[in-house]
Amino acid sequence: MEKFIIRILLPVITFIIAGIILFSWLKNSYADSTNIITSQIYTDQDIRSLYMNYCAGCHGERLERFNRSNWIFEETDEMAIQSIKYGREEVGMPAFEKTFTDEQIRAMAKYIRAEIPMDDNKRKPAFSMNQVVKSEKQNFTVDTVVTGLHVPWGMEFLPNGDILISERSGTLYRFSNGRLNKIENLPEIVAKNQGGLLDLHLHPDYEENGWIYFAYSDPSEGGKQKANTSIMRARLSDNKMIDKEKIFDGIPDSPKVHHWGCKIEFDKEGYLWFGIGDRGSRDVYPQMLDNHNGKIHRIHDDGTIPEDNPFVNTKGAMPSIYSYGHRNPQGTSVHPETGEIWITEHGPKGGDELNLIRPGLNYGWPVISYGINYNGTKFTDLTHKKGMEQPITYWDPSIAPCGMTFVNSDRYPGWKNNILIGSLRFEYLERVELSGNRVVDQEKLLEGIGRVRNVVVGPNGYIYVAAEKPGFIVKLLPVN
C-alpha cells in the first residue's frame, strides 16, 4: 500500500499542488499587469510610474515643463486625450495610441491636468466648456471639435464633413473620424515668422470641379531669402495634392517676414478676393499701384483678371488691384444680403480697422491712421484726408483682428447678419452688429479662449472658431 502511494499518488498530488501554486502566481501576475488597464483601479503611483517612464524626459519629473508647453492648455480631458493619443507633430509631441491603452491615456490626461503647475500669468477662460454661455442676444454652449493643432490658419469643410485645416507651419491636415491626416505634395512654403501656409477655400462648385484654393508664402526662384504671397489651386486625391496650378504670384518678393495678408473668399458672382499686407514696407508699397502689396485683389477662379477691375486700363498698375492703401488685411467676408466685401486689417499700435471695400478707393495707409508706432512715436498726424476712405469702425487699443465671418445661419437668430471677428491680442471673439453700414453694437464673446485665428460658418450652419498656441477648433451650439 505504501509503495502504491509513493509510486502513484504522490506524483499526482505533487502535480496538483504545483498546478495550484502556478495558477495562483499567474493570477496575481495578471492582476498586477492589468492594474493600470482599468481606470477604476488606477492608483496615483500607477500613473506616476507610466509618466516617469514615458513622459518625464521631455516634460520634467515634476511636470515643471508643462507650463511652458502650449498644448497642455487643453480645456477638457478630451482635448488632452487627443494630444496624448495622436500626438502633435508640429511641436515634436509623439503619438501614444500604440503605447498606451485608451484607459491609460484617459487616466494620464486626468493626472497631468490635475498635477500640472499652474502659470499665474496664463489667461483662463471666463466660461466653461460644459456650461451655457450667456451673451446679449444669443446663448450657446461650446463643443470641442479638433485638438492637437498649433497655429490653424484656415479651415474648410469637405462635402463628407471632413475638415481641411491649414497650419502656418506649412502643414495641411484633413480631419476625419477624429484624426488629423497630413496632406502630401504641397508646394515649397516659407514658414517663417508670420509667413507660411495661410488661408484656404473651396471653389463654389467644388463638388463638380474639385478645386481647393490656398494662400502661402512663396519663396523666390533664388531661394528662401525673399518671398511673397501666392495663391495656388489643386485637387485632393487620397490625402495628396494633385493638378497644382499657381494662379497668382505676388510681386515684388520681399526679404521681410511679416504682413503677408491673406484671407481668401469667393463672392456670390464667383470672383476670388484676397488681401496682401504691406510686407513691412509701409512707405514703399501701399500707396503705389505698381506692386501687389498693401492691396485688396479680385481675380477670376483661374487667375485671369476681370475686365471691370478698376485699374485694368491704368498704365503701370497691377490689374488685379481692387483697392489700395491697406496695412495687413487678415479678414475677408461677403455680406450675406448685399454681396459686398468687408475686411478687417491690423493697424500698428492702435488703429485696427473694419472696412467696406469699394472699387478703386484708397484706404489711406500709412498717410492716415488712428494708430502710432509700437515705440509710442507718431508716423503721421493725420486721421482724415480728402480722397482717402475712413474705416467703418476702428479699435484702439488694437485687438489684432484675424479671421471674420458674417453670421448667415438661421441657427443663431440673435446674431443674424452680425460680423464675428477673432482677436489675437485679447483672446476673444468680437461680435459686431450693423444697421446698414453703421456699427450699432459690439460684444466680447469667449473671453480668454485663446488667440482666435479664424471663425467660419460651416455648411451645417454652425459657427466654428479656431484658436492658436495651443491650436484647437470649437463649435458654438445655440441654446434657445
Show which residues are catalytic: 259
DSSP one-letter code for 447: T
Q: Chain centroid to CA 141: how far?
A: 20
CA dihedral 343, 466, 152, 173 (to 10 degrees): -120
List, in sequence order, every residue forming a beta bridge with 93; answer none if it has no partner: 88
User: Is the previous residue joined to 252 through a cis bond, with omega within 30 degrees of 0?
Assistant: yes
454 DSSP assignment? E
DSSP 465: E
46: DSSP letter: H
Q: Can you read off the three cell numbers belonging to residue 76? A: 477638457
- At 55, the amino acid letter reads C
Contact 206, 159 (CB under 8 A): yes
Q: Give the side-chain half-sphere CA count within 13 A for 275.
A: 32
186/257 Cα distance (integer angstroms): 20
State which H helix or E strand residue 478 sits in: strand 471-479
The answer to whether the beta carbons of residues 220 and 213 sit under 8 Å apart is no
Output the furthest CA–CA distance in the chain (Å, rounded).
124
Helix 102-115 vs helix 77-86: angle between axes, to the nearest 10 degrees? 120
Torsion sign over Cα 215, 475, 478, 130: negative
